[in-house]
Amino acid sequence: MNGEATMKIDFSRLGEDRLFLVLSSAERLKVNNIAIIRTLTGQGYRVVVITSNHPSAVLKRLYEAEGIEMARVSFIDTITKYAMGKVPPGQEDCRFINSPSNLTDLGIAITEVLNTLSGEKACLLFDSISTLLIYIPSTNISKFIHFITSKLRLVDASGIFLAVEKGLDPLLLTQLTTYVDGTIDMDAQPPGNEVQAEK
């Protein structure tokens, strides 16, 4: 995984364009998550990971093992409390949501985190829209992502929305594409092992 996770993603437009939909194959979702975090922290971003696919504790250990600067990463965990019924110890710096389907609490948590990061180079990493689809109807997801993207634009923060490439139906994909500034297909890598965004 180390070799794959060192892949760099071309977020050079992240200053002017703020929001990206990142499409990945299901088997490379975790690897791509790490690659994105590495790229963003390397560019000096404070990254807020909203996770619904893996517990934040697991991701934390994974990032640490990959040598990612954890001071720049914080979590909003929607799945641990729901799946395990409790919060594991040593997770005080993480915000937990009762259920991935509780979009109200998730929206509040995102607003609070963004407020605490005002004035900093902040980026929200949403991992992943495809997993959230297990718990929430696509119409609600679409509305929620629209809400988040509007929020991010208002506070001048960046956002990256991870999704499984073939997991979105054409209508949802079109809607999500209109909310963001660009789409990145992680599986269509150009030479030089650098994934570039397309508008």
Partner 1 sequence: MNPEGRGEGAGSRVKCDDGPANTTHRLWILVLLGMICIALEIGVHLFLRTAIGYTHIFYVLLVLAAVWYYQKALYVAGALVAATLATSLFVGDFTWATLLRAAMFLIVTWIVAQISEERDRAKAEILVQKSAIEEKHYVLVGYLAEVALRMKNPIQILHDNMAALLLQLQGDKPDIDSVKMDLAVQISHAEQIMANFRDLNQAIVEEREEIPVAYRDFLTR
Interface with partner 1, residue 188, by CB under 8 A: no
**CA–CA gap between residue 77 and residue 24 (Å, rounded):** 21
On the CB side of 188, how many CA atoms lie within 13 Å of its CA?
9
Nearer to partner 1, 1 or 155 (CB): 1
Interface with partner 1, residue 175, by CB under 8 A: no
Burial class (CB in 10 A: 0-12, 13-18, 19+), 166: exposed
**CA–CA gap between residue 181 and residue 83 (Å, rounded):** 34
Site string for partner 1, 84-123 (x = CB under 8 A): x---x-----------------------------------
Interface with partner 1, residue 169, by CB under 8 A: yes
Interface with partner 1, residue 33, by CB under 8 A: no
Closest distance to partner 1 from the beta carbon of 115 (Å)? 28
Instruction: Of 120, 121, 88, 98, give the one whose Cα is nearest residue 76.
Output: 98
Within the chain, residue ranges assigned H as helices are 2-5, 29-42, 56-65, 80-84, 103-116, 129-135, 138-154, 170-179
Q: Tokens for 77?
A: 């965990």
Site string for partner 1, 46-85 (x = CB under 8 A): -------xxx-xx--x-----------------xx-xxx-
Closest distance to partner 1 from the beta carbon of 168 (Å)? 7
Interface with partner 1, residue 27, by CB under 8 A: yes
In sequence order, the 6+-apart residues with CB closer than 8 A to the CB of 50 are: 75, 76, 78, 106, 110, 124, 125, 126, 127
User: Of the candidates 33, 131, 142, 175, which one interacts with partner 1 according to CB under 8 A?
Assistant: 131
For partner 1, the binding residues (CB under 8 A) are: 26-27, 29-30, 53-55, 57-58, 61, 79-80, 82-84, 88, 128, 130-131, 133-135, 137-138, 164, 166-169, 172
